[in-house]
Chains A and B, each alone.
Chain A
Amino acid sequence: QVQLEESGGGVVRPGGSLTLSCAASGFNFNSYGMHWVRQAPGKGLEWVAVIFSDGTHTYYTDSVQGRFTSSRDNSKNTLHLQMSSLRAEDTALYFCARESGSDWFLDSWGQGTLVTVSS
């Protein structure tokens, strides 16, 4: 079955950097677009980024544009989110999610990794 496992979260100071990873298994990773979604403590879901199946296109929400970069290694079934110039408002649980192969909704989610930006 589809499995997505995020890692790399932790505590980082404002202005710092962190890279998250998402290990995928149970499906043909290089055929699916992959997304990042975050959830601040006690808040709702916020879409963050997408990377197309072949890695050629990415899109970001405005608040992270220019600071976050999504990449993927299809040979290792791994998704990454490089985050820099981190701010307190980036504190959240970060989920990776798979885009459906038949449409563009998100059909499978990982359990998330927590990023805390604090001095």
Chain B
Amino acid sequence: DGGITQSPKYLFRKEGQNVTLSCEQNLNHDAMYWYRQDPGQGLRLIYYSQIVNDFQKGDIAEGYSVSREKKESFPLTVTSAQKNPTAFYLCASGQGLLGYTFGSGTRLTVV
């Protein structure tokens, strides 16, 4: 079955540490997206990529970085520059004007 796989499901980060969230899709979608979800805030766009080796900043890109070396993969790194990283992170993919398919999310907590 086609879909999006995010890992890990839960992640704990120490102060000053970089962590990487994985996102893999086998839907053959060109576009991939990273959203952050906080209670009462909806989904806010961090980064997105329309094609391999190209990506754009979203509305809240500061403190995050991404890469898109393969069509199937779009990992997100939460750097130490992100001062408030505790949140639920959702990866999505899409093709043209079809709806997004979301992964099951990664819950990141700073300890």
Do the two chains belong together in a single complex? no
Which residues of A does B touch, CB under 8 Å? none
